[in-house]
Amino acid sequence: MIIHSIVPQEHIFPANQEVFSNQTECTWNNVPMLVEKEGSKCRVIRIMSSNPADYLNGNIQPGSYVNINEINFS
């Protein structure tokens, strides 16, 4: 089976579910991301956008924190 996706293989086929238990998919200003909830904020783990300009946005680079009220969880 071949999967062509921007989503990493570890997210599609997780080896250890406990590692990914706090991570969730969401959108911030129509940018799909993977975040980890930490209280009233979320830490950006990965940007999953096909738009190269989204990766240049310093507000959502991996490791940065986003207010949980600005995120749309689907």
Q: What is the pLDDT of residues 18-40, one digit of tens each?
A: 767 788 999 999 999 999 999 89
Percent of the chain with pLDDT over 70: 97
Owning domain of residue 68: 22-73
What is the residue-averaged pLDDT of the chain?
89
Q: Give domain status of residue 51, yes or no.
A: yes
- Measured between alpha carbons, how far is residue 19 from residues 14, 27, 49 in Å? 9, 21, 22
Residue 1 lies in a domain: no
Place of tokens 């129509």: 30
Which amino acid, 26? C
Residue 39 lies in a domain: yes
In a domain, 54, yes or no: yes
In a domain, 36, yes or no: yes
Give the rounded percent of residues in the chain with a pLDDT score beyond 90: 64
How many domains does the chain contain in total? 1
